[in-house]
Structure 1
Amino acid sequence: MVCLSAHHRPSCRLLILFCLLHPGASDQPYPTLNTPGEEASSIQGVRGKSVDLECRTGAAPVAVLWSFAPLGSLVLRPVAVTNGVSSKVESWALALGVVSLRNSTLVIEELRESACGHFLCQTLLMSGGQVHTTYSYLTLTVLVPVSKPRVQLNDLSPVEGVSVVATCAVREGTEPLAFSWHHHTPQGPGEVLVGLSQPRLQLDPVNRTHLGWYMCSVGNAVNELKSDGAFLDVVYGPDKPVITVEPLGLSEDGIWASEKEEVTLSCLAASNPPSHYVWFRDNSQIHTGPTYIIASASRTHTGLYTCLAHNRHLDTHTQTTVQLTIYYPPEGQPSCAVLPTLEGVTLLCAWPGGFPNAQLHWEGPQGIGPSASSNVTWSYTVTGLPNGSVFTCMGQHPTLAIPIFCRVTLWEPSGSPTCWTTATVGDQFIMLSCEWPGGEPPAMLSWLDRQQQSLGDLSPSQAVYLLQAQSELAGREFTCQGSHPLKAPGSHCQLRLEVPQLTVTEPRVSVLEGEEAWLGCALQRGTPPAQLLWLGPQQQQLEGSTFGFTLHPEGTHLRLQVRDADPAHHRGTYQCVARNALGNSSQSVLLEILSKCKGCVCSRGYPAPPNVTISRLTYRRQRREVQLQWAIYGPGNLTGFLVQQRASVPSSEDGAWEVAASDIEPESRDRHLGGLDPAVLYAFRILAMNHHTAGHPSEVKTPVDPAFSAYPAVLGAAGTGAVVALATSLLVFQYAARHPHTFPCTETASITSSPDPIQESIDAPVNVTITVTATP
């Protein structure tokens, strides 16, 4: 490098200074840092702020050069140089911040993290006519302020009892970091310090007191910042509801209120989210909401009031039942009651109200009992006490000339408890109901699960328990256990919850095009209430208004009538579905619609099969079976035969044709058909089939008895020993010949047309009289 003959230019002067401070700079533009024995000074700066690096120069220097080496590196790079008149800052120094020189002090504004490292200040001094060089070493540490922290919850809405972890996340900040946690509840007085020093706060297990906002504060040597609040919504409940009544009146049975006053029943169950409330009186739903108001109480409002609390988020529920009794002035006569106890019964006699109070006195089969005013209780052991024992409560009042009596007769309830189920709230719940009416005192009932564990509290006469409807309940058994002081041991009834099961009349039904088809199914068993419905081939529900279909409900049966059967619209698989609150089941029925030939053109490209005629149709096995024989005539191919039957009555509205047999080989010419009812007169016809193309039906015939059969009946015998037997048999044979309007077109055969195929002829009846004469 040449540094001569340029003294008059400032830039050249700086270059000369650089050459003096860095000898051999042309060969080594980045000299290495060789730290002398002198220890480097340390200084701290804050990112984004300003820092001054002072150079210890002593006397006024001729020149000052600042160099920089990052941490972990010994290679120095020049940053800035000055000769006291002018200065120069290297362009790369922007990586350190905004760098400038103030005399010999290196000023870095808008400090960056990359400025963290070693700084070397070299000075050129003139002393005694000689040039001296000094060195100052500085180590700069750049501190990063803490960024605003953010609270992260691993579960924003945990269920009470699980573990929850809150994490305080900080994007940046020079360590060490100090953490603190604060909690603020919606109803609390303010923030509460709940944790120190850790970036994680664990709540294990979480409970409802942990609900609220959580904030964390993070600080270091530079600053301290606080996060926004993260809300922890703890889900719990519902707890067992608490029922309060205003105005409050407590009795031995529960709660009482005066006649004609307003009664408010309030229900509260701790829950998050808040509970949904449903009120029941005895077995009937009467209200939804936390408060039920009786505007003017009357004696008819006495009963069991049940509050059901439901947490829709957790899908859990609890319930509480109270007895509400309406009291009234002492009118009429004293009232008597009896309650069961562990050892017998408790007799109650009450005549409340009035002034003064009425005096009551008990008398029983074995002597005199206690006395009291307004109401009197007598605990009585019923060991050995006969059924029908009478207890009398005598009421006396100063205004009455003679006493007034009420009596209690102890008697056992008849029979045993009765169980049934009801689906409520849109089939979301199954109500188990048990009743054992009658008896004095009333029988006490309770529901037990299959482990004989009690479900709910004991209830007199009736017991109700609600189950959430779900498929897992299918097959479960529940027992209603009843007890009565006079009846040992107690009685019970059982319920088995089942998905409905059904059966179909025929899994496969075949009809001719244009005729009507009947599809039937029946509910066999399952927990009531159950619903039957039919689904079409496209899985659409068939209603009574669906065109071409008619539903015929008959108790536990549901029949589907398909009118004017059309292969394009009606053929396919139908499903009968049975539904209840536990689930559903279904059975399929295949409806085949056989096409008819029309003139010379047959559907699906198959020509018409030959015609068929019935040659013989006779009864067998006491008219429970028939033997059918037939013959074919006319041209045409065939792949099998189809036999149809129906109940024949002398009317134009005969029963619908049903398939009696469809799996008959084309070589067969006879068939045995069974399963007949001897009391029904049947009609039969047969058709030849060519794949799915049916020929014209044969004539319609009814079966006849075989030749030489008779059915004698013995009518009686008389005193001289003469036996007279009279057998009378009346056989009515009907048949109708049905022939096609037109026969299949052929060139080699000609068939004379028959009468109208729609008309059915009936054979003339044959009367047979058999006379039997018996000789003494």
Structure 2
Amino acid sequence: MTGRLIGGSSLQGLRKSTVYYVLLLSKNDAGWVGDNFLCQLLPLEDAKYEEQVVKGVRDRSVRLLCGDVVLPMVVFWSFTKLGSLIPRAVAISNGLESKVEKAAAVLGDVTLKNSTLEIKNLQMAAEGRFMCQALYEQDEEIKAVYFYVELIVLVPVSQPFLQINNSAPVEGMPVLMTCTVKEATPPVEYSWHRHTNREGPVNVSEAVGGMINITSANRTQMGWYACTAQNEVNSQTSDRMYLDIIYGPDEPVISVEPFAINQHGFSANEQEEVVMTCLAPSNPPSHYIWFYNSSQVYAGQKYVITRILRTQTGSYTCLAQNTHLNTRTQTTIILTVYYLPEGKLSCRPLPAANFRDLALHCSWQGGFPLAQLRWVKRADRNSTATASNATQIFRGVDVRNGSSYTCLASHPSLRENAVCRTTVWVPGGSPTCSAMATKQNEFLMMTCDWPGGLPRMTLWWRDWREHVFGGLKQSHNILVLKSNRTLGGKRFTCVAAHPLRGKAAECHVRLEPPKLVVERTKMSLFEGNEVQLSCLLQGAYLGSEVFWYNNKNQVIRADAPKYKLQQENAWFNLTLQDTEWMRDSGTYRCAALNAVGNASATINLQVKKYPTPPNVTINKLMYNRHRTEVEVEWQTQGPGNLTGFLVQRTEAKKTTNRQAVTIWETAASGIDPEVREQKLSGLDPSVIYAFRILAVNHRTRGHPSEVKTPADPPFNAYPAVIGAAVTGMIVATVASLLGFQYIIRNRENNPRLHDLLFRRDGAEAQERISNPEDAEQEATTAVDVGEQPGETSAPAEETSADDSPQEATEVPEDSAPAQEDASDPEPAPAPADEDAPVNVTITVAATP
């Protein structure tokens, strides 16, 4: 029959001599595409047959080759499932285009290129037999190729799944672990491994295939387990699963740092940091509790004592607990704390056998255990050791001066032996002695010194009777005795001995009382000067104290204002300042005192007074115009030296009390002896002053001058006074005349006034006026030397218009007028005639 190939290919060109069989397949049998039929060419002659087995992996791609055909004319691929004899079309190509049946999608993503069939995303349905039929032209002939491909689809191994029947068994219990895969193309091989932090991954030898059967679990089998499944496609490893085996706690083991052991257990040095660690293997980890002498002290695996003390020696117990299993174990150790002796290793040579032998003594007391000491000399290290003390004795004469010895001390707390070295030697020179008094000469202290040497020099005191005082001392020996006057002149001896000296050395002290010498026994000077008294202390033993006594036999203190005490070496000086006659004259005494006696020396001092200066008289004493200054002049009378003048003043007042004391105030002092005049200011004009002058010779004052009061200055305003008087007279005359005329004319109206003015007075009714000389005499008499002056009265002056004022000597300007005698009766007025002439007298007093 004639037809077309799938895809429109023509069947023309087939060889007529070749017989072909056509197999018609119904689409309904295979359920393939459309209503077409597949035509399969089965050449009977000249066909090639080849077979091949190909393996593909599911979900991956596989390529199926159609033999060695490169460019066929027609290619037809078909597929026969396993267990079926019916082939199914897959794809066909005529060299120009290709066609893939839709039903081939169950195989995967199928493509046909040339003669090669490629299946991507391979499915399990593609496992079976594929046949490629190809027609190609060769030597102008069409040939057919039949190529069979047996496709095996492999399934990769999926991730294994690990199971365990008991993930936390108690040690000794059975454990079963299985490893399974969901899908894989057999054969599948299994391998197991265990991972620990200490060992890393380790193969498990107990595994059989996909199973591990542990009949009795132990702690060594703890870790992370995983299995790996593998076939010819791939391998996969399961997730890890931890096998936690519960056990313990085992018996604890205690370690101590720093590590040191002794016959009882562990040891540590005092003040060290001690770390005790307890380890008891357990799962879950042990809970640790520490006990010290059965008392709980800490909870934790590591017990740290920062600075351990000797009192912390004792038993320490570690208790380990497994809280899961509620089991516990414990271990106890003994910890001994070693500590060094107090202080440092000391070694010293000492005298022995009454200073004939030398004993080397080495000591280091205390500590635990006791330090082991031994003396060695140079390279000798084999001497016997003793605890805490080591003493070695040599004859003093056999020891050379400057020999050295070494003491070694061993102790568990020491990394190396402690060393103490000493050198035996004798100091040079000789002992020195001295004596002094203490506590205000209440005690006597004698000192003996001889420093240096090893062993040190041994000193003791001996008195003049060979009695030993104070005991034996090294290098420095002080003997204290109560002060006693009977010890004066006695000798004390200090004896010094040393093991390396064959004979003792001595020094002596003789107790001497003080001795005083004065430079001059008599001295004199004028008052007001300064004088120095000197006293020399000879033989100043025992710290003698020196005192000065004044002319009243009183001790002179250092803070006395009039005296000044000085000391220069052994000289003691007393200086009297501003000496005074009578007060400072007399006998002064210098006294010295020590613990064994005293001494004194006297000096007679005479303070002389300067001669009396000459007398003074006042020549002039006058106020200025405003009475605030006084000018005074004077002169001396008689022989005598003088160094200056002194002016004194006081208030001049009248007084009836002749016993009143006049207080004189110095108005001027320090006036040069050549000066004979002085101005004194600062006076109160309302006060009446009296003045006197004294001559001075250093501190000696002469007799005071006469006492005088200042006079007023001369008046020189004559024209003004006369003019004022004339004007006043004229005015008074006119006023009087007018008044008299008025009275006369009105006599009837004022008869009493008329009689009073114009009656006649008796001759005895005249006014008495005091004499100026009387006033001056009274003022002068009132002011006397050494008396309080009384008040003075100045006389009233009657002066006519032509009169001029006269100078008043020694009369104050503001003196009151003299009072009239009160005993004289006033005369009765005589009747006057009305027409009698009137006599008027006008008195004018002018003041500057």
TM-score (norm 1): 0.37
Q: Point out the structure with max Rg over C-alpha.
A: 2
Q: Which has the higher strand share?
A: 1
TM-score by length of 2: 0.35
